[in-house]
Amino acid sequence: MAHFFTAAGIFLLSGVYAQPAPSVQSGITAAIKAASNATGSLDYTEFVNVYVGTDNFGDVCPGASIPFGMVKFSTDMTGYAPAGYVTDPTQFIRGLSPMHDSGTGSSLGTYGNFEIMPLLCPGGFDTCTTRLAARQRKRKPNTDVASPGYFAQTLDNGLRMEATATRRAGLERFTFPANSKPYFVLDLANDLPASFAGGSLDIDPDKGRITIGGRWGSSFGPGRFSYQAFACYDLLDGGAQKLSEYGVWTGDNFGLDAKGLGQKHLNLTLNLIGGVYQSGALFSYEGNPSTVNIRVGISFVSTDQACANAESEIGSSSFDDIHNKAKALWNDKLSRIEIDVPNTPANVTEMLYTSLYRASLTPNNATGETQGAFAGTSSFYFDSLYCSWDTFRTFYPLLSLHSPVEFAQIVDSYIDGWRKNGWMPECRANNLPGWTQGGSSADVIVGHFATHYHNEAAALGINLEELYSAAWTDGEVNPPEWNIQGRQSNVYNQFGYVPFAVLDTSSTGRQTREGSRTLEYAFEDFAIRQIALLLGKTDDEAKFNKRSLNYRNVWDPSVVSDGFKGFSQKRYSNGKFNFTDPKHCSPVDNVTTECSLQSDNTNGFYESSSWEYSWFAPHDTAHLIELMGGNDTFVKRLDHFFSAGYYQAGNEPSFQTPVGYHYANHPAQSVDRVRNVVFENFDITPAGLPGNDDQAAMASLLAFHLLGIYPVPSTTQYLVLSPFTPKYTIHNSYLGVSTTVNVVGFDAKSVQHTIPKGVNAYVVNVTINGVPSASRCHFDFFDVFRVGGNVTIELTSDKAAADSCLGALPESLSTGGFAKTR
């Protein structure tokens, strides 16, 4: 998933704001410098800039979280802010809330329930500003401070809000001016997408506890579905604080602003006419304390479980204890990739650890917090998978290098989706099925796991036969409604492509994206083929192998654009093509129709142009090169694609294009291109992402680019490029191995947009544990990261000498590639 703007729209509003306090960046810079002299282990959290992606529609949540945390405490702001926080200083803060997603493209936002806002009410209880529009305030400029496991923001009236987190709970700390009476408003109904579907709130003044439960709607899925969520707010800080007044309130935009001092209960249903009947609790403290501590527990099961979660995960621990525990959990993840910090450009260190941070921030681990069809499941359960179409390309491949346990847990959750719903989830959001994008990209994710960890699968709790059945079902069984799961496999399997304007008498879904759905279905079929091959299912392997070549069936050899011939196009069931200008929905397109799931997207391609999607056959690029007219034309076409501005960095179909030169035996040109792509689209500022992070799809893409490798999903092949750091080690503690990549001849001067002449940057030799690699374009997981040891990547400044694979090209089905799994 990306954004809901037109292709052109994304570039309209990016601004450079300096909202995070200057101390955030200066602290990171100092920590990286100090690491040069450090003895002993490093604190990697100090290199992370949680604000990258909080501007320019990155939609990153900078909130306090642990790795894969179910809660992410952040403020919620007005304007376009799907993750709650944005840097834009013109926006207002509505409050601080425990649940968010990071990097999603939904226009209305996601979660933001159970929001609390500290208030000063000099006129007393009845004068408090409880309604959203009345209570919202601007921030005190340039005072926002956040880091892994910690979030703080100060309002323009001086009130400071801080939070730290465990998996399902957190501590909030509020600082008030001297001699003021602290007031708080706490929401029952509001959330970011204004989706309240009924719930209740109870105040227990003796316990100092407020419990809330209700139902809300999805951020990226059918509006008729809703999920349940519960919160438990403990207000007394173990008895150190004393409540003064308490009560409930309701409000709306039509003049309602009612308060009930001493009342303890609210029970409200869905407002059928639309809009949210705002409501919640209002309370104050005795004795003008300057600091107020509040403990928050969250659950998707019950209010009792929300309170129990706060009790078991926090108990009476202090804010600093919880913050330190969160930091330790982050260091455990971040230290799985260690780099030579002293000899790495500081921006690269910051970009890498910031990316690795976000690549363990989501999806949200809601194990034991299940509802609906998943209630009480014995499987792991992850919420906010968002779109597998985004994450299969780089997010799961990155996880596969160092974190098989976490990867297996998420795969377990995917397979459980098939068990409980009939198909694997594509875009689970807010515990609900979200919209499908390219089909069933989960097949590629579980295929990637199977190809890498089939030997360990059983020990990791994964039954490969079940995994295969789940992927097979996606490919073979047509769901009656494929907007939320599965694919339109009936007509695809009948015609060998998804026909445009076809009569489908047995299933429904939005009849768009026929070109890109065919390309994605074909690659998903390749993933199923890979698992079938692994499990010795010969007939299935042959069937899915053949089907994976269906990408050829939407290739129209007659379409010409800018002198290049042959493009993917949507096609009628009678075999005729329906012409779409290949530039349509590219960044330079100024047509105003939309390119995502909107009903005016008749382009045939999803969030992308035909120019871009025509590169997509990662399992058979050799044949694509033939279709395009041979290696030379392919390379010229790639060059033109970038120079004409058709490359759209902010969307996932573009991810693999910069490394395409490898397949035409020109790996040095991929090296140049990746340098351009990184320096044109990524940096260390809040606007430092080219589009939404898409559940860390962008983060993991950047991490691969900086490490100088690129994955081919659902295979164990990794393309080799030129690292941005002289040395790194990937630790895989489950396998008990570490792999160190030494970059011989590394020159920091090569780490810029255009590699200067005479500077080492191009890969001339690759050696794996002392043995020269059979190709300098790629290596295999089973020869490298599976066994550990030393990889040497030797660089030269002689680009011509390095511009061939000196051995096998990366594999393609049509040239005999992927003949066996390892």
Ligand X SMILES: *[C@@H]1O[C@H](CO)[C@@H](O)[C@H](O)[C@H]1NC(C)=O
Min. distance of Cβ 253 from ligand X in angstroms?
24
Whole-angstrom Cα distance, residue 806 to residue 789? 23
What does the H/E/C string look like for 643-671?
HCCCCCCCCHHHCCHHHHHHHHCCHHHHH
540 makes contact with ligand X (CB under 6 A) = no
685 makes contact with ligand X (CB under 6 A) = yes
Min. distance of Cβ 543 from ligand X in angstroms?
27
Nearer to ligand X, 199 or 486 (CB): 199
39 makes contact with ligand X (CB under 6 A) = no
Min. distance of Cβ 686 from ligand X in angstroms?
10
Stretch in the footprint of ligand X (CB under 6 A) among 129-137, 361-369, 432-440, 522-530: 361-369
Nearer to ligand X, 165 or 192 (CB): 165
Whole-angstrom Cα distance, residue 276 to residue 273? 9
Q: How many residues belong to the site for ligand X (CB under 6 A)?
A: 35
Site for ligand X (CB under 6 A): which residue of 367, 394, 609, 732?
Answer: 367
Site for ligand X (CB under 6 A): which residue of 83, 684, 777, 791?
Answer: 684
Nearer to ligand X, 106 or 166 (CB): 166
Residues 252-311 that bind ligand X (CB under 6 A): 267
Stretch in the footprint of ligand X (CB under 6 A) among 54-62, 135-143, 487-495, 765-773: 765-773
Q: Could you tell me the two tokens for 366?
A: 């809601």
683 makes contact with ligand X (CB under 6 A) = yes
Site for ligand X (CB under 6 A): which residue of 157, 291, 790, 814?
Answer: 790
364 makes contact with ligand X (CB under 6 A) = no
Site for ligand X (CB under 6 A): which residue of 365, 400, 437, 518?
Answer: 365
Whole-angstrom Cα distance, residue 336 to residue 331? 9
Nearer to ligand X, 33 or 242 (CB): 33
626 makes contact with ligand X (CB under 6 A) = yes
Q: What is the DSSP letter of 138?
A: P
Whole-angstrom Cα distance, residue 283 to residue 257? 16
Spatial contact of 551 and 617, defined as CB atoms under 8 Å apart: yes
Please give the backbone phi and psi of residue 686, each rounded to the nearest 5 degrees, phi first: -55, -30
Q: Which of 298, 295, 109, 90 is nearest to 190 (CA)?
A: 109
153 makes contact with ligand X (CB under 6 A) = no
Stretch in the footprint of ligand X (CB under 6 A) among 133-141, 295-303, 526-534, 677-685: 677-685
Whole-angstrom Cα distance, residue 131 to residue 118? 13
574 makes contact with ligand X (CB under 6 A) = no
* Helices vs. strands in the chain: H and E counts, helices first: 19, 31
Helix (H, G, I), strand (E, B) or coil at 326: helix
Q: Dihedral, CA atoms, 560, 566, 569, 574, nearest 10 degrees? A: 110
Nearer to ligand X, 521 or 661 (CB): 661
Stretch in the footprint of ligand X (CB under 6 A) among 30-38, 106-114, 462-470, 689-697: 30-38
Whole-angstrom Cα distance, residue 594 to residue 191? 27
45 makes contact with ligand X (CB under 6 A) = no
729 makes contact with ligand X (CB under 6 A) = no
Nearer to ligand X, 119 or 805 (CB): 805
Nearer to ligand X, 77 or 697 (CB): 697
767 makes contact with ligand X (CB under 6 A) = yes
207 makes contact with ligand X (CB under 6 A) = no
Min. distance of Cβ 160 from ligand X in angstroms?
28
16 makes contact with ligand X (CB under 6 A) = no
377 makes contact with ligand X (CB under 6 A) = no
Whole-angstrom Cα distance, residue 657 to residue 670? 9
Residues 62-81 that bind ligand X (CB under 6 A): 68
Spatial contact of 794 and 744, defined as CB atoms under 8 Å apart: yes
Residues 102-141 that bind ligand X (CB under 6 A): none
Whole-angstrom Cα distance, residue 512 to residue 594? 12
Min. distance of Cβ 526 from ligand X in angstroms?
20
25 makes contact with ligand X (CB under 6 A) = no
Site for ligand X (CB under 6 A): which residue of 362, 379, 409, 561?
Answer: 409
Nearer to ligand X, 185 or 361 (CB): 361
DSSP sequence for 15-59: -----B-HHHHHHHHHHHHHHTT--S---GGGG--TTTTSSTT--
Site for ligand X (CB under 6 A): which residue of 11, 14, 22, 34?
Answer: 34
Q: Could you tell me the two tokens for 367?
A: 């194990």
β-pairing verdict for 182-187 and 778-780: unpaired
754 makes contact with ligand X (CB under 6 A) = no
331 makes contact with ligand X (CB under 6 A) = no
Whole-angstrom Cα distance, residue 608 to residue 613? 7
Give percent helix, percent strand, percent coil of the chain, each to the nearest 5.
Answer: 30, 20, 50
Spatial contact of 809 and 624, defined as CB atoms under 8 Å apart: no
456 makes contact with ligand X (CB under 6 A) = no
Position 789: which residue type?
A: G
Nearer to ligand X, 34 or 373 (CB): 34
Encode burial over 18-36: b for 16+ CB neighbours within 10 A, e otherwise.
ebbbeebbeebbebbeebe
Instruction: Summarize as ranges the residues that interact with ligand X (CB under 6 A).
Output: 33-34, 36-37, 68, 200, 267, 345, 347, 365, 367-368, 406, 409, 578-579, 590-591, 602, 625-626, 630-631, 664-665, 683-685, 765, 767, 769, 772, 789-790, 809
